[in-house]
Structure formats: structure tokens, C-alpha cells
Structure 1
Amino acid sequence: MDIEIRHAIHPDHAESFNTEELRKHFLVTGLFTPGRIKAVYTHYDRMVVFGIAPATGALSFGQELADLVKSPFFLSRREIGIFNVGGAGSVIADGKGYELDKGDALYLPMGTKTLAFDNANASSPAKFYACSAPAHAAHPAKLFKASAMKGDQLGAVETSNKRVLTKYMHVDDLPTCQIVMGYTRLETGNVWNSIPPHTHDRRMEAYLYFDLPKDQVVVHLMGRPQATRHLIVRNDEVVLSPPWSIHCGCGTSNYGFIWAMAGDNQTFTDMDPAPVSSLL
């Protein structure tokens, strides 16, 4: 188990950071280490981001995570959304098994006591990406199969941002306390995401960039619209996006990313526009 704690940063402070400091506070690297669970607790809306990479046996949530959130067990007062971005695998929650292929997702409610993750085939290991936020009620668990999900076509080739956005955990389909999660894939030849830029002051967001070729990167733009900064992001890395920050990017190849939000407002369209023409 590898645990990090990230503290919230005021935008005035962030604007004084050099490259190393920006990466230290807002970028999560080394997320998927075979045989390990990595947990990053962020003080932005108390979200915990996980990379879970089973190797030769199952990996389980245990006492270390219960101690992290000062609860009898990790999901005692929390909910969690889980995506598989690797080979086929399984999640066992309170003795019930869920099979997740690549692109499948699982929502588990507050009160889930035991949680374990395993591979279907160790030669093609699963990679589970999860986000957890505080909860006040126990909603039904739900398994999402990628093959049954219908996405929304967004953007255009002319602006290099033609993409498919698929909402998995969102208020119109699934009751959750805070967690909103989904998946966006850029089509071949398209590289810009989350255009037009925006912020949403009522919630934070985390971005996992994946399916990015080894030698390619995403230039992730962050910061207040009139004081932008950037992060160079590689495959399987996560950006922690504060409520005051824009969050858009341009890749040297097309890619996919999973977005996860937590905070006061679950309405997907609750955005404060930051038009491209206004950025500095």
C-alpha cells in the first residue's frame, strides 16, 4: 500500500510555483505498480484517488485505508467509483463478485465493508482506477458494461476536438452522494479535450489520462483563466484539478481520459465558461 496526502492550494500560491512544484501538488505519477495499491488523499473535496494493479494475487482494502479516513473501514462513510483500464479483472465487494472488462465501471455505496481486486488472467493484468468521496446515504451498487454505454458526440474535426463523452455515474441515471464519473475518447487525428475551457467553483475534478502511446504526451492546461499554467502528462497519470482551475489539454496523439468530480453540485452542465479568447 502506497499512500500520499495532497493539501489544497490557493491560486495565488499556485501562480508562484515552478514546474517541479506544480507537478508535486497537482500531478499523480506511478499510479499502477504491479502488486500494489496506491491511494492519494486530496483535501479538494476529500476525494481519494486510487491505482490498483493486481499481479499474482488479489489486492484488498485493509486497515491502512480505514486509518487514512479515521473510520472502522474505508467505505464506512464513503462511496466509490471504479473503472478498469487494463485487462479483464474482478472486484469482490462484501463477497459478491463483479467482472469488469476494459472500459467497464462499478459504483459501490457507503457501507461496503470488504473490497478486493483481482485479475482474470495474470498475463493480461487488470488496472483499476477508482475515486472515492464522502457519502451520507447508501445507494444501490451498479455495474456498467462499456458495450452497453451510449456516448455523446462532441466537438469537430475542424477544431481538432472531435470526441465521444460517455457519462457513467451521473445524477440523471444513478443516484450517488457526490461522485460523478465518465469517460471521454478523442477520435483519431483529434487532440484537444474539454474545449471550450471552463471552471466549476462548486466541485473539484480529477483526470486520468490513459491509452496514450508511450512516447506521446498531453499538455494539460490548468490555473485561473487569466493566469494559465501547464503540466506535461504521460500515460496513466492523473491531474488533480482545483475548483478555481481550468482543465483542458492538447495531446501529441489522440487518447482517452476518465473524469471524476466531487463537491456540492452534481449537475454536469454546471460550468463557469472561460472562452478561448479570454485565456492568458
Structure 2
Amino acid sequence: MGVDMDYRESTGRAGMRRMTTGELRDTFVIANLFQAGALQLSYLEVERAVVGSAVPTTMPLALPTHPELASRFFCERREVGVINIGEPGSVVLDGDRFRLSRHDCLYIGRGVEAVSFESEDAGRPARFYFVSYPAHASYPSRSVRRDEARTIVAGEAQSANRRVIRQAIRPGVVDSCQLVMGFTELEAGSVWNTMPPHTHRRRSEIYMYFDAAPGRVMHLMGEPSEPRAVFMDDGEAVFSPSWSIHSGVGTANYSFVWSMGGENLEFDDMDVLAVSDLGARA
């Protein structure tokens, strides 16, 4: 059975300013992730990224190619980063099995022909989230356990943004072409992420919020002088153009997977803004 791919076009700065809240959400928010027994795919015009999820239950779920990719198999010209946010499971790459517990990550290199997702317990399934970008070279596939990721403690309790950043796919940890990926956990009592905000002129970023229920996250995006907001539920992703801020505030603490693709792999390549830049008029 084939898997449909949701195609998402972006918009320019002027277009975003004119969008209603509903149009903003319909354009940038991916809300159909993590369906039991199903694999979901969305193709993003921004950086030609593919965002997807797999929640295998009684049967493995194979990662298919799609006419949009014009390839014999999904990873013929692509690399993929996978993070499991559910119960233990495995990703099988050309017959090689990689077991992923909760918060473990897997980098899949260009050239892997067969990718499938499995859960260890159908009643308590794994929840695999993945992001893919085009790749110009092949690097070895490898897993990164939660405690193997580069860990950074950031923010302050006084400003309600104390958080732990775990960098799983980045230089010095995993070799990749353009994919950088990891996740951030906010400590109890903290609700702000990536504040003060920043933009990435040389790449775009995708957030997927989890461990947010029963709360919600108000995600900020758009030009610094014209910030817009969309409310995000648990397990939803949102993508941002390179000129857009990407930040958020929740009704309680939460976690989110972040991923980037573009011209370079430098985690700190960002244009940092001040809080006073938000909504500022010339």
C-alpha cells in the first residue's frame, strides 16, 4: 500500500503578514503525525525537507519512496535523522537492526535502500519522528544514545527558560551533509524556548513539540518586527523559513525536537536578536 505525501509550500514575508491564524497553521503546521499503525510523510518546499513519523504496532512500517522524490528508494539521494519519543523499537537498515529507546537518535546515510520501523511491544509502540534533507555524499549510519549526545544546559530559572539541549546529529558527534538534529527538554517551572529569539539566514529550522499534553505551546514565527503566533498541540511540527524567528512559550514545561538544514553544519551560526526587537517599529 502506498503512502501519500503531503506537499507544503511556504510563503514570503509579505504573504505571511496577510495570513489569518488559520492560514498560518494550514501552511506551516504539520498536524497529522503519530497515527497508530501508520507512517506519515510531508514534503516541505523549504530546503526540500521531508518530515515524517512512524508508529508501528503489529507490523513493521517500511519507508517508501515517492514520485515527488523521483528516486528508486527514499535514501537514494537523501539522509535522514530519526528520534524515538515513544517506547523501545528498532529501525532496520538493509537488514542491520538499530534498537532505539526513548530519546535515542539514528542517523541514516545516503544510499541505504531499505528502511523499516518496528516496535518491541505492539501495545506500547515506539513513536519515531524523522526529518530528511537532500545529501551530496554518503556517511555511515549510526545511532546516538540519549547520553551520547552533546549536552548543553542553557537559560535561567528567573526568565523561565532553563533547559537542557541534547545535540545528537552535529559535527563532532555524527558526520552528515547538512542535517543537524537533537532535542531540548525544559525544566519544571520553565516555559520559554529559544528566548531571546534568533534567525538562520543560511538554513531553516523545524520544531516538533512533545511531552506538552495536556498543555499547549504558543509558537512564535515570522519577521522579528511582525511576529505571528500559532498554538501547537502535543506531537505537532512547525517549519520556519530562514528569515523567520522560531520560539515558543508553553502553559507548562515540554520538550521539542529541532532539526536544521541548509548551507552549513555550524550549530552556532545564527543571527541573535534582543527581546526588544520583537514587534519593534522603525
Instruction: Tell me the TM-score normalised to structure 2 length.
Output: 0.96
The DSSP-based 3-state class of the residue aligned with 1:8 is coil
How far off is 1:147 after superposition? 3.4
Query: What SS is found at the alignment partner of 1:190?
Result: coil
- Which whole-Å CA distance do the structure 1 matches of 2:70 and 2:256 have between them? 31
- Equivalent position of 1:218 in the other structure: 217
Does the CA contact (< 8 Å) of 2:5 and 2:66 recur in 1? no
Q: Deviations over 1:30-84 (max 9, x none)?
A: 201111111010011011000111121100023xx24220011110000000000
Q: Deviations over 1:224-257 (max 9, x none)?
A: 0000000100100001111111001100010000
The runs of 5 or more residues in structure 2 that have no matched partner are: none
Superposed structure 1 runs of 4+ greater than 6 Å apart? none
User: Size of the alignment, in residue pairs?
Assistant: 277
Q: TM-score, normalised to structure 1's length? A: 0.97
Q: Distance in 1 between matches of 2:213 and 2:15?
A: 33
Partners of 1:66 and 1:212 lie apart in 2 by: 32
User: Is the Cα–Cα contact under 8 Å of residues 34 and 54 in structure 1 kept in the other structure?
Assistant: yes
* Matched-pair contact (CA < 8 Å) for 2:57–2:121: no
Q: Residue 3 of structure 1: CA displacement?
A: 1.6
Q: Conserved in 1, the CA contact under 8 Å of 2:148 and 2:168? A: no
Question: Structure 1 residue 150: deviation in Å?
Answer: 4.6
Identity of aligned residues (%): 39
1:146 shift after superposition: 1.1
Distance 2:216 2:248 in 1: 10
* 1:196-221 deviation line (CA, Å, top 9, x unaligned): 1000011011101001122x100111
1:114-166 deviation per Cα after TM superposition (whole angstroms, max 9, x unaligned) = 00001011111001000000001101111111133351110010000000011
1:267: which partner in 2?
266
Question: Which 10-residue stretch deviates more, 169-178 or 185-194?
Answer: 169-178
The residue type equivalent to 2:189 in the other structure is: G
What corresponds to 2:42 in structure 1? 40
Partner of 1:136: 136
Assess if the C-alpha contact under 8 Å between 1:60 and 1:115 holds in 2: yes
**Uncovered stretches (5+) of structure 1, i.e. residues with no partner:** none
Matched, 1:162 2:166: no
1:93 is aligned to 2:93: yes
Q: CA RMSD in A?
A: 1.0
